[in-house]
């Protein structure tokens, strides 16, 4: 008779243990009972980089990395990209028309930032990376909303969530305008979430900026594709810092800082730099050889979870075609397609199951839309904001969660006596 349990024999002692299996997992704390002596700490699981450890139960996104499946709240990403608008994740269910109107109204009417934040942005050097400015200004928001520390209060949490989702595009656009020396363009509440962001980014001297609907829709799709991705590095940072009951602005600044890394959300920027460096199709074989020699990584390739084509990359390729119909083709797409074609036949990539990820094609679209390369990670951060906040809220409401505190295996010196400086 099959049982939902695991029988473990400790060969050090000959003792046998039965560990319950729930949802395909064993509880790591159940290993503690496996001791050699009654006073030892019991067995730990060792899992650097969390390769095989579930740290929470979550109802937000589902990934099957072998099949290349991504769903938010059960809905396939392909359907959401086609039919939905951004701003869905925080509630588990699709909103009614009235609920959606209310939600959009609430977000739209929180887009202004305090004038002092502009002064704060002004203080950054003229060539400051906008992601550095973004991380810092998100953290600084906590000083403007001290009530944010009342994370136990549902109303306060809701207010901060609105504010963060609403204000991140404003902070992002202002970071950009500062670095290019243009006056800040204020939010326009007549426009959609993405339309308003394009307005704050690109408005010049015209009285009213009108976003092109194709670009507005493309950006909305890109934001949807980036909205959540289970327990990735930045989301883990959000949950980790949030688990200490830091306010959500501080926790989100930590998440954005993690995203900035080139192995994570900074990869889209690195992909573009790589494609520019390769320059033309003839140079691809030599570049692939450098990757295989271990000199460089093929940026935008590989994923911890996807061992099949990233479903987001497929949708992005379709979006690219729509954008290029309007903007003209970004010539880098030909290099990217050829790079992908060669890589997907090459034993090095095939045997390691390395496929293009979301970042491989997103930057090519952003560039065609005239976003500067260093804004790419910031665009990723705007898209990921609802996911971070949904995960933060879920973590706070989860009775099983406590302050995040991994264990370690100590490998340092055994006990020794301090040697005074004269005797060293």
CB of 266 to ligand ACO, least distance (A): 8
Catalytic residue among 178, 303, 310, 374: 303
∠ at Cα 140 (134, 145), nearest 5°?
Answer: 130
Dihedral sign computed on CA atoms, order 56, 62, 65, 67: positive
DSSP structural state of residue 75: E
CB atoms within 10 A of CB 92: 13
CB of 317 to ligand ACO, least distance (A): 16
Inter-residue contact 360 to 329 (CB < 8 Å): no
Using the minimum distance from each CB to ligand ACO, give the nearer residue, 112 or 263: 263
* Residue nearest ligand ACO, Cβ-based: 302
Question: How far is Cα of residue 391 from the mean position of the Cα atoms in its chain?
Answer: 11
Using the minimum distance from each CB to ligand ACO, give the nearer residue, 180 or 263: 263
Using the minimum distance from each CB to ligand ACO, give the nearer residue, 140 or 358: 358
Q: What are the angstrom distances between the C-alpha of 63 and each of 69, 75, 113, 267?
A: 5, 11, 35, 20
CA distance 141 to 164: 9
CB of 210 to ligand ACO, least distance (A): 32
Q: What are the angstrom distances between the C-alpha of 385 and each of 33, 234, 240, 379?
A: 40, 10, 16, 10
CB of 362 to ligand ACO, least distance (A): 9
CB of 253 to ligand ACO, least distance (A): 18
The crossing angle, in degrees rounded to 10, of helices 97-108 and 193-202 is: 20
Local structure of 63: helix, strand or coil: strand
Q: Is 30 noted as a catalytic residue in this protein?
A: no
Residue 275 half-sphere exposure, CB side, CA atoms within 13 Å? 26
In the sheet that holds 75-76, the strands lie side by side as 61-64, 69-72, 75-76
Inter-residue contact 375 to 130 (CB < 8 Å): yes
Q: Provide the binding-site residues for ligand ACO, judged by CB under 6 A.
A: 232, 263-265, 267, 291, 297-304, 352, 354, 357-359
CA 178, 179, 185, 189: dihedral to nearest 10 degrees? Answer: -100
Catalytic residue among 150, 264, 346, 398: 264
CB of 275 to ligand ACO, least distance (A): 13
Using the minimum distance from each CB to ligand ACO, give the nearer residue, 282 or 295: 295
Using the minimum distance from each CB to ligand ACO, give the nearer residue, 148 or 354: 354
Catalytic residue among 220, 247, 359, 374: 359
CB of 224 to ligand ACO, least distance (A): 15
Q: Which of 252, 230, 251 is nearest to 403 (CA)?
A: 251
Using the minimum distance from each CB to ligand ACO, give the nearer residue, 15 or 304: 304
Q: Is 303 noted as a catalytic residue in this protein?
A: yes
Q: Is 122 noted as a catalytic residue in this protein?
A: no
Using the minimum distance from each CB to ligand ACO, give the nearer residue, 58 or 357: 357
**Residues annotated catalytic, as ranges:** 264, 303, 359
């Amino acid at each position: 008779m099959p049982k939902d349990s695991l029988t473990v024999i400790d060969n050090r002692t000959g003792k046998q243990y039965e560990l319950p299996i729930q949802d395909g997992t064993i509880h790591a704390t159940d290993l503690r009972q496996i001791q050699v002596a009654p006073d030892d700490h019991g067995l730990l699981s060792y899992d650097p980089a969390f390769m095989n450890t579930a740290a929470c139960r979550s109802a937000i996104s589902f990934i099957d990395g072998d099949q290349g499946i991504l769903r938010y709240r059960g809905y396939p990403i392909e359907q959401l990209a086609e039919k939905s608008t951004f701003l869905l994740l925080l509630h588990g269910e699709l909103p009614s028309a009235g609920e959606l109107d209310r939600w959009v109204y609430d977000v739209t009417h929180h887009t202004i930032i305090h004038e002092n934040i502009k002064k704060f942005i002004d203080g950054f050097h003229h060539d400051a990376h906008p992601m550095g400015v973004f991380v810092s200004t998100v953290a600084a928001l906590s000083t403007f909303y001290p009530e944010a520390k009342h994370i136990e209060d549902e109303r306060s949490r809701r207010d901060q969530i609105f504010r963060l989702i609403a204000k991140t595009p404003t902070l992002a656009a202002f970071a950009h305008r500062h670095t290019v020396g243009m006056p800040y363009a204020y939010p326009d509440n007549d426009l959609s979430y993405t339309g308003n962001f394009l307005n704050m980014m690109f408005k010049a001297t015209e009285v009213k900026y009108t976003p092109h609907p194709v670009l507005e829709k493309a950006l909305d799709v890109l934001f949807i594709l980036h909205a959540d991705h289970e327990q990735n590095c930045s989301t883990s940072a959000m949950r980790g810092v949030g688990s200490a009951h830091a306010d959500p602005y501080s926790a989100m600044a930590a998440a954005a800082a993690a995203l900035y890394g080139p192995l994570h959300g900074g990869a889209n920027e690195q992909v573009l730099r790589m494609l520019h460096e390769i320059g033309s199709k003839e140079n691809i074989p030599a570049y692939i050889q450098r990757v295989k020699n271990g000199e460089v990584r093929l940026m935008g390739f590989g994923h911890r979870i996807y061992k099949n084509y990233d479903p987001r990359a497929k949708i992005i390729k379709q979006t690219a075609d729509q954008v290029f119909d309007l903007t003209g083709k970004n010539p880098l797409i030909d290099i990217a397609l050829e790079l992908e074609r060669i890589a997907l036949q090459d034993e090095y990539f095939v045997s390691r199951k390395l496929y293009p990820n979301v970042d491989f094609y997103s930057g090519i679209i952003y560039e065609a839309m005239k976003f500067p390369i260093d804004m790419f990670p910031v665009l990723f951060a705007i898209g990921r904001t609802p996911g971070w906040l949904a995960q933060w809220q879920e973590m706070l409401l989860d009775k099983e969660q406590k302050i995040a505190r991994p264990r370690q295996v100590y490998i340092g010196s055994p006990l020794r006596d301090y040697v005074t400086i004269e005797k060293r």
